[in-house]
A and B are shown apart, each in its own frame.
Chain A
Amino acid sequence: MNEKMDRRKFLKYGASVLSLFICPAIHDGKCGKLHAGPGGDYAFRALHWQKLEGGRVRCLLCPNECVLRNGDRGQCRARENRGGTLYSIVYSRIAALNVDPVEKKPFYHFLPGSMAMSVATAGCNFSCKFCQNWQLSQSNPDDVDSEKILPDSLASRAAASGSRVLAFTYNEPIIQAEYVIDTSRSAKSKGIRPVIVSNGYIQQKAAADLIKNLDAVRIDLKSFSEKFYSDTCSGSLKPVLNTLEAVYKGKKWLEIIVLIIPTMNDSMQDIKKMSRWIRTNLSPDVPVHFTRFRSMYLIKNLPPTPVRTLELCRETALSEGLNYAYVGNVPGHEFENTFCHSCKKMIIKRSGYFHIENGVKNGRCPHCGKKIPGVWA
């Protein structure tokens, strides 16, 4: 090696060889062509998008409005531009399937005590730093073990499992709207009630199409602050409020959950504003669950929410005129139970999500006979 090699040449060759190994490794797989290959099995022509110049498309399903070149994937990782046409790549691509009590979603006024077949694909249009299901929501569908279950087949499996409810949950159902709609239709035909557990981040037209096929919707209202939505979830609040109104106006059963995270969204001012908005724009009868945060995903070094904070949230909501405010994720807590808004007596007793003593008779309070808002049969 005494013969001197030009150093520049040496470095140039070295760098090219190295880049062959490094580039695929550091490519993040989001919005890129590298991952266009797999997923073909599950591709399904998407709803809600428009063609743009140069083979690009704009997705109109959620307010992110991703503009995608050929081969690109959306921010949710679940939709892909293939040759100028937008495809859902998670259609029937089931990554998780469990049978849970409906209270675990949580729905407290929707068929209490019944079981829900719960399914998920992968991907999400948010990136919340406290996501419990980040392994699904923040993954590329190609990287998650999945099973192909077509809509009819899923509906049949739900029926066979004895579930009365089919819940699209864990990851964001909106990004798989095509599959949710088709499966919901099939489920309804078999007497199963389709519901979604969602962040509500969807465009209004798409929301109308989706909601009409469902029986109930549970929405995560992450906070009542635009800043929280943009800093912690990469989303925004306004479209979520629009969806809440759309669900309510669409006469579908609606419950709201607010995960209270210490120091981040526990301001009583915000809870007050939120409760007032719900009462004014929706109804005082919409149940709101203030649930306890425990360290999760990227927020893993915070103590759990003090129970007293949750109780204060509930008191604030009640004082703003809401009828059904709950303390969640604190098994055994008195305010996990349902109290009639009229006579204030306990009508449903809970201890965790497996123990339900339901006193509601024909949708009415067993004590005063008042109609209790909800879906009871």
Chain B
Amino acid sequence: MKIPEQRFSRNEVLLFSFYAGFASAISQVIIIRELLNVFRGNELIVSIIFFSWFLGLFLGAKINRGKTGCRSASLPFLLAVFPLLFLSSVILTGLIPFIFPRMPGTYYSLSAEFLLAGVFTFPVSYLAGYLYPALVFLISPADDIASGGRIYFVESAGSFAGGLAFSFLIINFMNPLETGAVLLFCPFLYIALKSGKRALLLLILPPVILFLWSPYLEKNINSLSWNKTGAGTLIESWRSRYQTIFVESQQNEIINIYGNRLYYYSLPDAGDMRQVFHLIQSLRTKKDEKILLLGGSPGSLPLNLLKTGVREISCVELDPDLWRISEKYRGRFYPVLSKSSGFRIHYEDARAFLSNNGEKFDIILCFPPHPENTMLNRLFTAEFYSLCKSRLNDGGFMLTSLKGFANIMNADLKNYISSILKAYKRSFPYTMNTTGDTVYLIGSADRESLPPSPEVLIERYAKRFKTLDFRNLDEGLILNYTPDELKMMFEKSQLDYFQKNITAGIHMAQENLDLNPRAYWNYNMLLMEEEGGIVYRLLRLYYLLPLLAAAIVIPVFFRIWNTYGRKKFSVAVSIFTVGFTSISFMLLMLMLYQTFFGIMFYRISLINALFMFGLASGSYSANRFRLSSVPMFAFLVLGLLSVFLFLESRAETIFWFLILFLSTVFGGLFASLYACLDPEDHQDAASFLYSTDNLGAMIGSILTALFLIPHFGIGPSIGINIALIVSAMIYFRISAHS
């Protein structure tokens, strides 16, 4: 089956380029989201996915450099292969737990996650890379030296459109399989119409069937893989804007709730809340308090606190769908929380709530998941604790939890706890802590708010306990309770150990900050140490990664120098730096977004879209006006866009603009550098440039996530990138003139 041999018109080639960009942007985002559904959702995995993505682009572009590469007749079919590969990646990703069953409750090792993320990302990106030189070749007779930049512009514009389509339509209305079906429909329809054969119209049937069948297919994929690794039977799954929520029934009695397969909590949960419930009771010094509970809650804690004289509890939960689903099942065990008097729910990001809401509270409770990513790390930073402090009434206290220890702590765990404690102490100089697998930090700005020692706390509670009326509380909280149970949270020898190993050396610790996420990194090192894999040992030696990167890059540049001479070498250095810094900035922007605005996985595509828009604008301007006018054009675009962007906050506006600015510069540089090559063979030049750009991006994604951020923090990493790109451009200028 072939479309008659022909050359495509210029517009058709541009249409193909647009489709390639559109489909690849959507594919990349969806594959990232699907992989994060199976793997741990953090920047390390995102950087590996990016790495693999650029490896695919690099190899695709590198391999398709000869004149015998893909040519006109097969191009529409290759475009159809795109969604097919994407669909296979999505389906196989969903089936990973089924194909590679793992022990219930365990994660794949980080090395395995890295490998699988690479395997599932690679095919789509390889094809995207493979198509670029061919498209440049097809358009080169018409556009000559601007052809590389032209295709880059149209592809980037397609990616921009894809990113927007995902952010505002797909995320709300379509699952990944439906999206794949629509993407498949387009090239099939084109092939059928172009060939002029009616029989080929049958080609559009498979995507239509897939579209209709996809909800059923998705449900089955989920159940199949869940039942291999879950603790119970999957009874419901729901794609919310922020995550995929899974509800599991265990022994027909217990409901477990998961987000992106990460265990959140069980219903009913009174037994699990027993220790912390009494800890809060023991710390209360008055009645009628207003309590702020940051993060969704299983139910028994707020309900029972309200029964003990608390006036009001405000609960802040980001995901309304998570709350809605929890309420549905919570109703089986407790009165509906939202209708309880004194209870208020706010659907908002915790930090946004603290920043925007002027209300003050007597007690703030925050039990966040471990800081596996920067989005969670922001609930452990000095800036966050300072926000909490600003919302506390005089004499109030904050109670938060973090991963603790059993008997000893290794260096990573000590670093992790110290970095958080130091951040906490800055706002709450008067701090107590518990011991055990979970450590609770209790802090206040007033010395009088907390008892002078755990012994006094327990003694006071033992006295007060006799006078308290706990008759209406859940049985799990009070059955056989004696205040001696508090001693399990304050074990003397463990407290001494904590004092000696953490508190005494706190001045030496690196504080966990928004822009220097120490806890995030230390926690991930701890996870890697638990796995004991090769990745941990490699990361321990911080100099190894840059060394490995150098070992890859130096031979490549050595060859370029020998084969192409100085001019192309300087172009290669510049374009490599553009690739490196552009992806490095992209990752840094993602981290910044997570840090300041919270969960970003539903925003990845918007960030991507704006990035692509910037690339498109930059390359468009460079195609017309050349290198010198790129920055001017970038500012112009920003000015114009500011009119159109409707945005949630000023800070967010600055963020989006920064992305646009940087990507416009990068896009402009790419197109200008292509023009500087002044190529005779366009496919070869496109392959050269595109592959070098992606080599830079590969190295940039790995080094940023695993070296720059852990060792320098976010701010200095941005500085390093600026220094790199400026140096590369100066070098390019000098070599071009000489």
Q: From residue B38, how far is it (CB to closest CB) to chain A in Å?
A: 12
Contact A301 B106 (CB under 8 A): yes
Name the segment of A18-26, A36-44, A243-251 touching the other chain: A18-26
Complex CA distance for A352 and B256, rounded to whole angstroms: 25
The answer to whether the Cβ of B484 comes within 8 Å of any Cβ in the partner chain is yes
From B106, B253, B491, give the contact of A298 (CB < 8 A).
Answer: B106
Q: Is the CB of A98 within 8 A of B554?
A: no
- Taking a contact as CB atoms closer than 8 A, the residue among A136, A144, A302 that contacts B263 in the complex is A302
B218 within 8 A of partner (CB): no
Q: List B contacts of A5 (CB < 8 A).
A: 558
Whole-angstrom CA separation of A143 from B537 in the bound complex: 13
Contact with A along B220-252 (1 / 0, CB 8 A): 000000000011100000000000000000110
**Set of chain A residues within 8 Å of B263, measured between Cβ atoms:** 295, 301-303
Q: Known: A299-B105, A352-B487, A355-B482. Is A21-B532 also a contact (CB below 8 A)?
A: no
A206 interface residue per 8 A CB criterion: no
In the bound complex, what is the Cα–Cα distance between A11 and B556 (angstroms)? 11
A334 CA / B541 CA spacing, docked (Å): 51
Q: Closest A residue to B496 by CB, please name it.
A: A98
Task: Please judge, given known A-B contacts A95-B408, A302-B263, whether A25 and B537 are in contact too, CB under 8 Å.
Answer: yes
**Given A99-B493, A332-B485, are A25 and B541 neighbors across the interface (CB < 8 Å)?**
yes
Check if B196 is an interface residue, CB within 8 A of chain A: no
Residues of A within 8 A of B275 (CB): 331
B640, CB-defined interface residue at 8 Å:
no
Please, which residue of chain A has its CB at the minimum distance from the CB of B543? Answer: A21
- Stretch of B266-274, B316-324, B629-637 on the interface side: B266-274
Q: Are B254 and A351 in contact (CB under 8 A)?
A: no
In contact, A99 and B492 (Cβ under 8 angstroms): yes
Complex partner residue of A301 from B105, B232, B534, B537, CB under 8 angstroms? B105
Give CA–CA (A303, B268) in the complex, Å. Answer: 12
Q: Which residue of A lies closest to B541 (CB)?
A: A25
Q: How large is the interface on A (under 10, 10 to 19, 20 to 34, 35 or more residues)?
A: 35 or more
Number of residues from B at the complex interface, CB < 8 A: 63
- Judge whether B480 is part of the interface by a CB distance below 8 angstroms: yes
Q: Nearest chain A CB to B458's CB is how many angstroms away?
A: 10
Q: Does B261 contact A (CB under 8 A)?
A: yes
B488 and A353 within 8 A (CB): yes
Measured in the bound complex, the distance between the Cα atoms of B410 and A144 in whole Å is 7
Does B465 count as interface, using CB distance less than 8 angstroms?
no
Expressed in whole angstroms, the minimum distance between the Cβ of A228 and any Cβ of chain B is 10
The answer to whether the Cβ of B1 comes within 8 Å of any Cβ in the partner chain is no
Interface residues of A in 50-105 (CB under 8 A from B): 95-100
B437 touches A303 (CB 8 A): no
Instruction: Find out whether the CB atom of A331 lies under 8 angstroms from the CB atom of B530.
Output: no
**Bound complex: CA A330 to CA B273 (Å):** 11
User: Using Cβ atoms and an 8 Å threshold, which residues of chain A touch B256?
Assistant: 303
**Residue of B105, B494, B534 contacting most chain A CB atoms (<10 Å):** B105
Q: Could you say which residues of chain A place their CB within 8 Å of the CB of B543? A: 21
A residues 326-368 touching B (CB-CB < 8 Å)? 330-334, 349, 351-355
Contact between A295 and B105, CB atoms less than 8 A apart:
yes
Chain B residues near A334 (CB-CB < 8 A): 479-480
Shortest beta-carbon distance, B86 to chain A, in Å?
Answer: 28
Q: A261–B482 Cα gap in the complex (Å)?
A: 28
- In the bound complex, CA of A138 to CA of B494 (Å): 21
Kindly list chain B residues whose C-beta atoms are within 8 Å of the C-beta of A354. 484-485, 487-488
A31 CB to nearest chain B CB (Å): 14
Task: With CB as the reference atom, state the residue of chain A lying closest to B548.
Answer: A18
B504 within 8 Å of A (CB atoms): no
Q: Evaluate contact between B271 and A96: CB separation under 8 angstroms.
A: no
Q: Beta-carbon contacts of A172-213 to B below 8 Å, as 1s and 0s?
A: 000000000000000000000000000000000000000000
* Contact of A144 with B408 in the complex, beta carbons under 8 Å: yes
What's the nearest-Cβ distance from chain B to residue A85, in Å? 29
In the bound complex, residues from chain A placing their C-beta under 8 Å from that of B406 are 132-133, 135, 170
Most buried by B among A136, A139, A262, A303: A303
Residue of A11, A135, A263 near B231 (CB, 8 A) is A263
Residues of chain B with a CB closer than 8 A to A15's CB: 551
- Chain A contacts with B in 119-138, Cβ cutoff 8 A: 120, 129, 132-136, 138
Interface string of B561-603 (1 = CB under 8 A from A): 1100000000000000000000000000000000000000000
Let me know if B555 is at the binding interface, CB within 8 A.
Answer: yes
Q: How far is B263's CA from A11's CA once the two chains are assembled, in angstroms? A: 47
Which of A150-158, A269-277, A305-313, A317-325 contacts its partner? A305-313
- Which residue of B230, B254, B540 is within 8 Å of A25 (Cβ)? B540
Contact across chains for B103 and A331 when beta carbons are under 8 A apart: no
Please tell me which one of the listed residues B231, B271, B409, B413 contacts residue A262 in the complex, with CB atoms under 8 A apart. B231
CA distance A98 to B493 in the complex (A): 5
B104 on interface, CB distance cutoff 8 Å: yes
Rounded to whole angstroms, the CA-CA distance of A334 and B558 in the bound complex is: 74
Residue pair A18, B555 in contact (C-beta under 8 Å): no
Assess whether B104 is in contact with A263, with CB atoms less than 8 Å apart.
yes
Neighbouring B residues of A369 by C-beta, 8 Å: none
Residue on B with the closest CB to A29? B537
Q: Which residues of B contact A136 (CB under 8 A)?
A: 407-408
Top 6 A-B pairs, shortest CB-CB distance: A302-B105, A355-B484, A299-B105, A98-B493, A354-B487, A332-B480
Q: List 21 A-B contacts (CB under 8 A).
A: A22-B544, A26-B537, A98-B491, A133-B406, A135-B410, A138-B532, A144-B410, A263-B230, A263-B231, A264-B103, A264-B104, A296-B437, A298-B106, A298-B107, A303-B263, A308-B251, A332-B479, A334-B480, A351-B485, A353-B488, A355-B485
Interface residues of B (CB under 8 A from A): 103-107, 230-232, 250-251, 253-254, 256, 261-263, 266, 271-272, 274-275, 405-410, 413, 437, 476, 478-482, 484-485, 487-488, 491-494, 497, 530-532, 534, 537-538, 540-541, 543-544, 547-548, 551, 554-555, 558-559, 561-562
Q: Assuming A25-B541, A96-B408, A98-B407, what are 7 further A-B pairs, CB within 8 angstroms?
A: A21-B541, A21-B544, A27-B537, A139-B410, A301-B107, A306-B250, A332-B476
